[in-house]
Structure 1
């Protein structure tokens, strides 16, 4: 069952890992939207395009800026990331313990920690969220006898996973709900064909990191259960939702039959994900994880970074969410005072630590202004890419982490004035 090239000692470890429920899974390369674009390089011998040059300038400005509203740890150097792993990791796990082999030791400890946080019977570590969710929904389809998965048109699998549900997993995604919010209970009840599972992305990233109210969420879950469907939460950023819902993680997770969480989106880990739910589902998922290629020999760096995130970042997320609302209000005030003819912060009161900013310019215009501001002042207000969402309308995402807490409302308003000075006059 192992690689024929593996040494006998490794074979024994692998068998031990299988006995403890370790496995692998399938494909699904779904990185964050901006990071995925940044990872796409130019062809050999080709001159970089204007967009690629701008992306390189933005990355350089981000590294060198003395002050950045949204500073992500993944943009650090390898040396910095390794130093962080060693220094912070010593406080959350015994670094003198043997490293994991096929998912035991530190990986098993991480799985136990996640299950305890989410209040589920068990959890399984996966190298990617794409893999975790395909496996979960495949297992549910086998149990319900229905491969149809109901999900919003803006859900991550529909936007970024190259039709992996249908091409790899034999699932049939069906789109339910309309508008830039999750499906309502009425839409679930009125949907005109049966489905085996309802997948809800919390928050719905491409709609602006939006969440329903707690009452709306419970009604949607009830509507799905009325149709004999299971409910799966795409909770990549579920960690950020407690302030909005006013509920602890375990109470939120208890609404669903299974939950996926990410370790790098909110927690700053190196990567990885977990699937949490009933023990029988998790054990079955581990078998499929192995079949999909997710039984990796050693994963201690990713697992350790996840434990660090759970220890240090998770407790701070409610503070990030609350400060995101301060920043959002200051951005609105700043653009209005600077005379920008139309702007939008969405949601007006952010539901999580992340939100969108919309401006009445072409994306390349605002992107250039954002990069020049950082290059000329060493202050970076907008660190993420800008996309077009209509003629003459650009949108970007703002994410508040530890660095953002250092920005007062006055700081944000001043940076907005300086940024607007670099935009063309629209009078």
Structure 2
């Protein structure tokens, strides 16, 4: 058995875990369905009271005229960009080089829609106004991911977003929000979802990230935009005969957790402080701007994994089930953490003991090098 599997096994046996809301098992759906009358009619091919009322609810929450429920964010975002490209007659869009569309979708935007990407900024920072002003190519749409997940969940200042939005509107460039973690950034910006989304022409939000639903996403914008998105949803095979398991769980966990994002954010700041107090460990960003951040160790994963396994076994607290080599160097490693309901359940004395063990182990290992 590999060391990675040993870490996963040890993590799975812990009583407390730092990240997430709960295990992703069938109980997630069972809890969401339990309050409902079994005779409630399901949606059918994108129509019906169940889906239409939820779409209206999300449109109002996001401050948009209309919204459409999709089975996946990948589908929703590719469709949004296709609509804006068709409208402009330009088959180019701009986004960050570590955007989900660029690194996780098997080149879907180009293969399915013949849309080319223009990459802005570099892999170590967010897109800023100067990047947008300096574009030498015409694009139909600029996509901003908030927070920028692959570099630790960092965010640009809100004033930068306002400036980028104003510039795009002046130049006729559509601005799309990859808001997979939209709810999670509202406490930092101290804005409502509608206030933030008013800067964008179209918005995507996920229902399984911080909310913890089964799956699914919402795509919101003008009535004209969402009308076309429904056509593309059908073309993509997204109009399943029924999407109610996703819709019901999305609505249920939205009500359960949307109002908790402030607490998750506060907890993330506290937890990052624990990590940054340990030798040869740092978080990116140092002070989180949402409920997520990256934890970096100044050792290779092969040396860190035994430390985390020992902490799991002796304290009952699981830090993570995986580690990845850092992009900068194979001599260091990192993992991502997203605070949810689970963190608040950890006894503080056990938490402090786990971090004391981590600090001691990292110091001892560094002295032995």
TM-score range, shorter chain: over 0.9
Mapped pair 1:65 → 2:3: no
Question: Are the counterparts in 2 of residues 364 and 386 from structure 1 also a CA contact under 8 Å?
Answer: no
Q: C-alpha distance in 2, partners of 1:260/1:278?
A: 13
Secondary structure, in 3 states, of the residue corresponding to 1:348?
A: coil
* 1:314 shift after superposition: 0.5
Q: Please, which of 81, 90, 101 is the counterpart of residue 146 of structure 1?
A: 90
Name 2:25's counterpart in structure 1.
Answer: 77
* 1:115 shift after superposition: 0.5
Q: C-alpha distance in 2, partners of 1:144/1:130?
A: 22
Mapped pair 1:126 → 2:70: yes
1:110-155, Cα deviation, whole Å (9 max, x unpaired): 2112111101011111111010000011011011111111001111
Q: C-alpha distance in 1, partners of 2:305/2:53?
A: 43
1:208-256, Cα deviation, whole Å (9 max, x unpaired): 1011111011112222233321000000001111111111000001100
Name 1:29's counterpart in structure 2.
Answer: none
Name 2:365's counterpart in structure 1.
Answer: 425
Mapped pair 1:173 → 2:117: yes
Q: C-alpha distance in 2, partners of 1:383/1:59?
A: 4
Q: C-alpha distance in 2, partners of 1:109/1:364?
A: 50
Question: Are the counterparts in 1 of residues 67 and 220 from structure 2 also a CA contact under 8 Å?
Answer: yes
Q: C-alpha distance in 2, partners of 1:95/1:262?
A: 26
Seen in structure 2, the aligned counterparts of structure 1 residues 130 and 82 have a Cα distance that, compared at 3 Å, is closer
Describe how 1:174-189 pairs up with structure 2 within 5 A: 174-189=118-133
Question: Are the counterparts in 1 of residues 33 and 248 from structure 2 also a CA contact under 8 Å?
Answer: no
RMSD across aligned C-alpha pairs, in angstroms? Answer: 2.0
Question: Are the counterparts in 1 of residues 69 and 216 from structure 2 also a CA contact under 8 Å?
Answer: yes
Describe how 1:270-289 pairs up with structure 2 within 5 A: 270-289=214-233
- Which stretch has the larger CA shift, 216-225 or 316-325? 216-225
Q: Please, which of 279, 285, 294 is the counterpart of residue 356 of structure 1?
A: 294
Question: Are the counterparts in 2 of residues 328 and 349 from structure 1 also a CA contact under 8 Å?
Answer: yes
Name 1:102's counterpart in structure 2.
Answer: 45
Name 1:382's counterpart in structure 2.
Answer: 320
Mapped pair 1:192 → 2:136: yes
Q: C-alpha distance in 2, partners of 1:76/1:214?
A: 34
Q: C-alpha distance in 1, partners of 2:299/2:67?
A: 45
Name 2:337's counterpart in structure 1.
Answer: 398
Name 2:154's counterpart in structure 1.
Answer: 210
Seen in structure 2, the aligned counterparts of structure 1 residues 388 and 268 have a Cα distance that, compared at 3 Å, is same
Q: C-alpha distance in 1, partners of 2:29/2:151?
A: 35
Name 2:168's counterpart in structure 1.
Answer: 224
Name 1:255's counterpart in structure 2.
Answer: 199
TM-score of the aligned structures, taking structure 1 as reference length: 0.80
Q: C-alpha distance in 1, partners of 2:347/2:192?
A: 28
Name 1:269's counterpart in structure 2.
Answer: 213
* 1:157 shift after superposition: 0.8
Q: Which has the higher contact order (CA 8 A, sep 6+)?
A: 2
Give structure 2 stretches of 5+ with no counterpart: none
Question: Are the counterparts in 2 of residues 327 and 412 from structure 1 also a CA contact under 8 Å?
Answer: no
Q: Please, which of 249, 266, 285 is the counterpart of residue 347 of structure 1?
A: 285
Q: C-alpha distance in 2, partners of 1:413/1:376?
A: 13
Question: Are the counterparts in 2 of residues 381 and 415 from structure 1 also a CA contact under 8 Å?
Answer: no
Question: Are the counterparts in 1 of residues 148 and 154 from structure 2 also a CA contact under 8 Å?
Answer: yes
Q: Please, which of 33, 39, 42 is the counterpart of residue 86 of structure 1?
A: 33
TM-score of the aligned structures, taking structure 2 as reference length: 0.92
Q: C-alpha distance in 2, partners of 1:151/1:260?
A: 15
* 1:400 shift after superposition: 0.9
Q: C-alpha distance in 2, partners of 1:297/1:409?
A: 48
* 1:349 shift after superposition: 1.3
